[in-house]
Amino acid sequence: AAVAGGKDEL
């Protein structure tokens, strides 16, 4: 999950 759509951080 390294690109937009998989981002879980702030």
Partner 1 sequence: MNVFRLVADLMHLASILILLLKIRKTRSAAGISFKSQLLYLIVFVTRYLDLFTHWVSLYNTAMKVFFIASSGYIVYQMQRRYRATWDPALDTFRIEFLLGGAAVMSLIFHTKFTFLELFWTYSIWLEAVAILPQLFQMSRTGEAETITAHYLFALGAYRGLYVVNWIYRYATEGYWEWIPFLAGMVQTVLYADFFYVYFSRVMRGKKFELP
Which residue type is seen at 1?
Answer: A
Place of tokens 């999950």: 1
Which residue type is seen at 3?
Answer: V
| Interface characters, 1-10, with partner 1 (x: CB under 8 A) | xxxxx-xxxx
Structure tokens at 2: 């390294």
Residue 7 per-residue DSSP state: -
Binding site for partner 1 (CB under 8 A): 1-5, 7-10
